[in-house]
Amino acid sequence: MTSPRWYIGLESLTLAVVGVLALAVGALFSRPDVALIGSVFVLTFAWGWITRPTAQPGVVVRRTSARARAGAVAAEVHVPPIAGVETVRLRVSSAGFRPVEGLVDARTERVLPTELATARTGVQDMFRLDHLSASFDSAVLSPVARTGPLQVTVHPPLVTLQGTPVPPQLAGLTGNHTSRRVGDGTAFRDVHLFTPGDRLRRIDWRVSARRSLDVRTRRLTELYVRRTYATADATVMLVVDSRDAVGPDVASWGGGQAAAVDEPISLDLAREAATAIAHVVLAAGDRVGLDDLGLRRRPVAPAAGRGQFERISRRLAALSPDSFPSPRKRAPQVPTSALLVVFSTFLDDEAARMARTWRGQGHRVIAVDTLPPVRTTGLDSLGDFAYQVVKLERQVRLDQLRRSGVEVLRWIDPDSPNGAGAVNVAWRLLTRGHRHRGTGVPGRPGAGVR
């Protein structure tokens, strides 16, 4: 085991040099008073070196909670007591934040809370800690050590939505939605002749007596059963376009400057919207899956349950833009009769092309626009002209989606004025705008809301 490294501090070394010089002057000029002062300096230095710490500083930074959400991410700095260490100088820093410094009395155990207010989500490197320990009035110093940064997975705030959209066709043998198939359910379909396989408890004796009673024999010649629509569950596939991560400031889109950490970027809004939709769909007992247009990897297969929400949350947090994503020649395969929800800024035609392809295959497609409200301050005339061209192309692209039957939902930051209310109103329009075609059963999707 290597011995701990401690160094002589500049102040202590200066003190020792002054003491040696004072001793020399006192000896040369027979000045015991000067020599006495020098001896005090030398003995002080010697005592600090002899009683120097025997262990390395154990200062660490750690998380305070298992799950962090955007808004306030907390951690704590733990300073354990070490024999000989009197003070510890700390410097906590994170990318995009102003560093914080402090001098801590380390003679007793200290736990110092620290917190960052951020709007960013995903896997973030936070809380880099640089620390320097000192003993006996800085006679000896430890080398500057670094702890962290911590790799923190910041989840988006959970937005509560009301209502669940469903695809035009339902799959599965059970669920909370009424399908078109005949089976066990609560929605009445019709009265039909009893056939092999029908359950006896479905026999409608009043209808049977009214339609098939033989008055001469007083017997029923035929039996009739009440048939209902079967229940089924819906399959929702979330498709996130992680190729773009743009902030509100258009001047930062080119990569020359980083977006501010106190404002959500498009990928943050995509994570937030996907998490909210996955939560409301899973709460309704339906199945949810997740795929990424920016990175080609195995998608999260559709499933239900609490475990599925955790799997989707982890995959959403791990999304990040690829440096050079290659365009897809064909749309990713999705389950039959699934509802597709595409999250993108639609600054290029890739995500819009995939949405139109899925719509052409008969799927119901909802396009969630995750571009944050933009600012053009700081742009020169050429930059403003380029943005106007991009804005016009994007608007044309969204209009083409609407004309092709894709429903468009603008996701607004819920922390903005009326943000959460506007999102919920638009979401309820999507969930209420569909009816079961040909049966009159409410709540069943048909043609989309345009």
Q: What is the pLDDT of residues 243-282, one digit of tens each?
A: 888 888 888 887 667 777 888 889 999 999 999 999 988 8
CB count within 10 Å of CB 206 equals 9
Is the model more confident about 399 or about 70?
399
Residue 196, pLDDT score? 78
pLDDT over threshold 60, residue 176: no
What's the CA gap between 321 and 246, in Å, rounded?
Answer: 10
The reported pLDDT for the residue numbered 403 is 94
User: Hey, what CATH class is 60-154 in?
Assistant: mainly beta
pLDDT in tens, 324-357: 666 777 777 777 778 899 999 999 888 999 999 9
The whole-number pLDDT of residue 281 equals 87
C-alpha distance across the termini of the chain, in Å: 71
The span from the CA of 285 to the CA of 103, in Å, is 54
The pLDDT confidence band at residue 415, using thresholds 50, 70 and 90, is low
Percent of the chain whose predicted confidence (pLDDT) is above 70: 73
Residue 52 has pLDDT above 70, yes or no: no
Q: Where are the domains of the chain?
A: 7-50, 60-154, 190-229, 233-432
Which pLDDT score, from 0 to 100, does residue 11 have? 67
Q: Residue 64 is which amino acid?
A: T
Q: What is the pLDDT of residue 221?
A: 66
Q: How far is CA 147 from the centre of its chain?
A: 25
Residue 340: strand pairing partners = 237, 365
Mean pLDDT throughout 374-399? 89
**Other Cβ atoms within 10 Å of 350 Cβ, number:** 18
Q: How much is the pLDDT for 108?
A: 87
- Helix extents (H) in 121-198: none
CA 238 to chain centre: 14
Q: Is residue 449 pLDDT above 50, yes or no?
A: no
State which amino acid sits at residue 74.
A
pLDDT of 437 strictly over 50:
no
Dihedral angle sign, alpha carbons of residues 164, 339, 438, 223: negative
Domains 60-154 and 233-432 share a fold: no
Confidence of residue 444 (pLDDT cuts 50, 70, 90): very low
Name the amino acid, one letter, at 387.
Y
- The DSSP H or E segment spanning 177 is strand 177-182
Contact criterion met (CB below 8 Å) for 73 and 126: yes
Q: Range with the lowest mean pLDDT among 1-5, 30-34, 157-161, 393-397?
A: 1-5
Question: How far is residue 339's CA from residue 366's CA, in Å, rounded to a whole number?
Answer: 8
Cα(305)–Cα(313) distance, integer angstroms = 13
pLDDT tens-digit map of 200-237: 666 666 766 777 766 676 777 677 777 655 555 678 89
> How far apart are alpha carbons 259 and 424 in whole angstroms?
27
What's the pLDDT score for residue 256?
61
Q: According to the model, what pLDDT value does residue 418 have?
A: 58
Is the link from the previous residue into 264 a cis peptide, with omega within 30 of 0?
A: no
pLDDT at 392: 95
Mean residue pLDDT across the chain: 78
297 confidence band (pLDDT: 50, 70, 90): confident
CATH fold group of domain 233-432: Rossmann fold (3.40.50)
Query: Phi then psi for 106, rounded to 5 degrees?
Result: -105, 15
Q: Name the pTM for this structure.
A: 0.75
pLDDT value of position 366: 92
As separate numbers, helices (DSSP H) first and strands (DSSP E) second, the chain gives 8, 23
Q: What is the pLDDT of residues 119-147, one digit of tens each?
A: 888 888 889 999 888 877 667 777 888 88
Give me the residue label for tokens 């991410």. Answer: 73
Residue with tokens 């429903």: 407
DSSP per-residue letters across 179-194: EEEESSSSSEEEEEE-
Section 353-366 average pLDDT = 90
Instruction: Return the pLDDT at 442.
Output: 36
Is the pLDDT higher at 165 or at 187? Answer: 165
Q: What is the DSSP secondary structure assignment for residue 258, as one 8-state letter?
A: P
Closest CA to 365 of 343, 386, 350, 380: 343
Residues with Cβ within 8 Å of residue 176, at least 6 apart in sequence: 231, 233, 284, 285, 286
Residues 6+ apart with CB under 8 A from 282: 288, 304, 305, 306, 308, 309
Per-residue pLDDT band at 33 (split at 50, 70, 90): confident
Burial of residue 324, with CB atoms counted within 10 A of its CB: 0-12 exposed, 13-18 middle, 19 or more buried: exposed
